[in-house]
Amino acid sequence: MIATRDDGRRVDDGTPAATSVRGCASLVFGRRGPRTVLLRSRVEAPLAVVRPFELPGGRLVVQLVTLGPGLCSGDVVDVDVIAEEGAEVVLTTTAATRIMSMDPGQHAEQHIRFRADRGASLEYYPALAIPFPASAFFQTLEIEAHPTARVGVVESWALGRSARAEYLQFRSLISRTRLSIAGTLVYADALVLEPARHDLAGAGVLDGRRYVAAGFFHGVGSIPEADPVPSSDRVDVALALTRPGLAYLRALADDAPALDAAVQGSLERVARAWGHPLARLGRFRC
């Protein structure tokens, strides 16, 4: 099977992965007059796609579904999405992604590739991902965007099911993100959590937090001021520009409602900066 080294490179250790599947979703969106339409799609289990829903202003919401209990050992999922010139797309998932328990030495992978052409808008806001005990997950997210495109990505992770006392019981959670504009790398980020190798519970800013969110936004001229909210020690959140036109989001929270409120507040600020209504995704999730 394919194993992941500390540096993120993958090697074949020669052992077979049992009952694994390779699924994919390949979607191409285009602009037709005032509307965005799904031009082409190819989907293979365990992925499925719910029909697009049109939002005011011509944007489409597309829901990705993972069939079955979740991502299992040996599973490999590929997601390729192209937003052609002027297309406006919001991608989400219908429910939390569960990364199931696995035998030692096995893991699941997901590889996501996005392309946003001239004047396109491509946003990716999946629901929470939850790693189960002994699970291992490796993800890459590669985005290529035109300088005039808008791109938004926010991913949220639970660090185990708190109600079952599974905090930091997974083996590894690795996600690497890269954004290139006109072929030039402008943003790179990595989330690497390996509880068995490092004492993460009290490490730095993590310090016992149960939920993590990370993301970025390209095509943001400025970040509007946040509305006044009561102070809380349940969440830490940062939303700021790293360079002209590019903003990052980071959030750490004690519980899911606190994380969701922090992320939604940040998305509202970015929506104001982009000059369009926030896509309310709650109605598209279970």
Residue with tokens 């809380």: 232
DSSP character at residue 71 = B
- pTM, two decimal places: 0.90
Per-residue confidence of the chain (286 residues) as pLDDT tens digits? 444 444 444 444 444 444 678 999 999 999 999 899 999 999 998 899 988 999 877 889 999 998 889 999 999 999 999 999 999 999 999 999 999 999 999 999 999 999 999 999 999 999 999 999 999 999 999 999 999 999 999 999 999 998 899 999 999 999 999 999 999 999 999 999 999 887 777 666 677 789 999 999 999 988 888 765 555 678 999 999 999 999 999 999 999 999 999 999 999 999 999 998 888 877 667 6
189 and 216 Cβ atoms separated by less than 8 Å: yes
* Ranges of each domain in the chain: 22-284
Phi and psi dihedrals of 270, rounded to 5? -65, -40
DSSP single-letter state for residue 56 = T
